[in-house]
Amino acid sequence: MAGSTKQTTNRGVIRKWVEERGGRPVVLRTRSRGEYDAAPPRINFPEYHGSGYQKISWDQFFRKFDERQLVFVYQETMRSGEMSRFFKFVSRVPARSNGSNGV
C-alpha cells in the first residue's frame, strides 16, 4: 500500500532500495575520537553535502548494521505514488523497562 512502511534486515533489499534512490553507505566522523569506525552506519544521498562523511563499502556498512543490531525501516512510495526516500534505523533489541510506569 502506498505510503506504508516496511522493515527488514535483508541485505539485498536494503542495498537495492538505497541504490535505486542514488544513495550510498557512509559514516560520520565522531567528534570525540575522530574515528570513522566508532560511528553508526548512515545513508547519504548526492544532494546532501555534509562535511565529515566518509563513504564506506557495503561490507563495512552491514558489519556496523549487524554489530548495532539494527533494523531498516523504509517506505517504497509516498501516498502520492512517488518514490520515497523515507527510512530510519531502529534497534532490533527492545528497550529495557526501568520499572517506571511513566507517570
Please give the share of the chain, as a percent, with pLDDT higher than 70: 76
CA distances from 10 to 17, 51, 65, 97 (A): 11, 29, 11, 28
Whether the Cβ atoms of residue 43 and residue 55 lie closer than 8 Å to each other:
no
In which band, very low, low, confident or very high, does the pLDDT at 103 lie, cut at 50, 70 and 90? very low
What is the chain's length?
Answer: 103
Is the pLDDT at 8 greater than 70? The verdict is yes
- Chain-centroid distance, C-alpha 12: 14
Residue 53, pLDDT score = 82
Helix axes 58-67, 11-20, angle to 10 degrees: 130
Is the pLDDT at 34 greater than 60? The verdict is no
| pLDDT tens sequence across 53-93 | 888 999 999 999 999 999 999 999 999 999 999 999 999 88
